[in-house]
Amino acid sequence: MKLDAKAIRYLTSEDFRVLAGVEAGSRNHEVVPTPLIVQLSGLRGGSGVHRSISVLAKTNLIAKVKNAKYDGYRLAYGGLDYLALNAHQKQKCIYSVGNQIGVGKESDIVVVAHSSGSQRILKIHRLGRISFRTVKTNRDYLRHRNTGSWMYMSRLAAMKEFAFMKALRENGFSVPEPIAQNRHTIVMSLIDAFPLRQISKVPRPAELYSELMDIILELARFGLIHGDFNEFNILIKEEEDPDAKGKAPANVDDENDENIRLVPVLIDFPQMVSIDHANAEMYFDRDVNCIKRYFQRKFHFVSDVPGPSFADAKKNLLKNPGKRLDVEVEASGFSRKMARELEAYMKEVGVDGDAGAPRDDEEEDDDSEEEEDGSEEDHSDDGQPEEETGPSDSLDDSSRRLEELRV
Ligand code: ADP
Ligand code: MG
C-alpha to C-alpha distance for 335 and 316, rounded to whole angstroms: 27
C-alpha to C-alpha distance for 2 and 101, rounded to whole angstroms: 11
Taking the CA of 105 as reference, the closest ligand is: 1
The residues annotated with a catalytic role in the active site are 228
C-alpha to C-alpha distance for 88 and 182, rounded to whole angstroms: 7
Kindly report the protein residue whose alpha carbon is nearest to atom 18 of ligand 1.
Answer: 109
Q: Which of 2, 105, 109 to mutate to test the pocket of ligand 1 (most atoms within 8 A of CB)?
A: 109
How far, CA to CA in Å, does 82 sit from each of 23, 44, 136, 185, 329? 11, 23, 31, 11, 28
Q: Which atom of ligand 1 is nearest to the CA of 232?
A: 14
pLDDT at 228: 95
- Output the CA 102–ligand 1 centroid distance in Å: 7
The answer to whether 175 touches 165, Cβ cutoff 8 Å, is yes
Question: Angle at which helices 310-319 and 205-221 pack, to 10 degrees?
Answer: 60
- Output the CA 104–ligand 1 centroid distance in Å: 8
- For the chain, helix, strand, coil in percent to 5 are 45, 15, 40
How far, CA to CA in Å, does 339 sit from each of 10, 146, 270, 335? 38, 20, 10, 6
- Output the CA 152–ligand 1 centroid distance in Å: 22
CATH architecture of structural domain 1-89: Orthogonal Bundle (1.10)
Among 67, 73, 58, 91, smallest CA distance to 21 is for 73
Q: What is the domain partition of the chain in residue ranges?
A: 1-89, 194-356
C-alpha to C-alpha distance for 367 and 375, rounded to whole angstroms: 24
pLDDT at 226: 98
The answer to whether 387 touches 102, Cβ cutoff 8 Å, is yes
172 DSSP assignment: T
Q: Which residues of 229-246 are buried (b: 16+ CB within 10 A; e: fewer)?
A: bbbbbbbbeeeeeeebee
Q: In a 3-state reduction of DSSP, which class is residue 312?
A: helix
Kindly report the protein residue whose alpha carbon is nearest to atom 14 of ligand 1.
Answer: 232
Furthest C-alpha separation in the chain: 77
pLDDT at 250: 53
pLDDT at 193: 96
Helices marked H in 179-254 — which ranges?
Answer: 205-221
CATH architecture of structural domain 194-356: Orthogonal Bundle (1.10)
Q: Which of 237, 265, 267 to mutate to test the pocket of ligand 1 (most atoms within 8 A of CB)?
A: 267
pLDDT at 245: 56
pLDDT at 280: 97
| Type of residue found at 348 | E
Which residues of the chain carry a pLDDT beneath 50?
Answer: 131-144, 252, 358-401, 406-407
Helices marked H in 91-194 — which ranges?
Answer: 139-143, 147-170
HEC string of 251-311? CHHHHHHCCEEEEEEECCCCCCEECCCCCHHHHHHHHHHHHHHHHHHHHCCCCCCCCCCHH
- Output the CA 233–ligand 1 centroid distance in Å: 7
Q: Cis ω on the peptide bond leading into residue 308 (within 30° of 0)? A: yes
Question: Ligand 1: residues within 6 Å at CB?
Answer: 101-102, 104, 106-107, 109, 121, 123, 176, 188, 190-191, 195, 232-233, 267-268, 354, 391
pLDDT at 387: 34
119 DSSP assignment: E
C-alpha to C-alpha distance for 151 and 367, rounded to whole angstroms: 30
Kindly report the protein residue whose alpha carbon is nearest to atom 17 of ligand 1.
Answer: 102
- Output the CA 390–ligand 2 centroid distance in Å: 14
The answer to whether 247 touches 204, Cβ cutoff 8 Å, is yes
Kindly report the protein residue whose alpha carbon is nearest to atom 7 of ligand 1.
Answer: 268
The answer to whether 124 touches 185, Cβ cutoff 8 Å, is yes
Q: Which atom of ligand 1 is nearest to the CA of 192?
A: 25
Taking the CA of 392 as reference, the closest ligand is: 1
Count, residues in the chain = 407
Taking the CA of 388 as reference, the closest ligand is: 1
Q: Which atom of ligand 1 is nearest to the CA of 103?
A: 3
Helices marked H in 31-170 — which ranges?
Answer: 34-41, 46-58, 77-90, 139-143, 147-170
What are φ and ψ of residue 274, in 5° steps?
A: -75, 150
Kindly report the protein residue whose alpha carbon is nearest to atom 12 of ligand 1.
Answer: 102
- Output the CA 32–ligand 1 centroid distance in Å: 34
C-alpha to C-alpha distance for 41 and 17, rounded to whole angstroms: 5
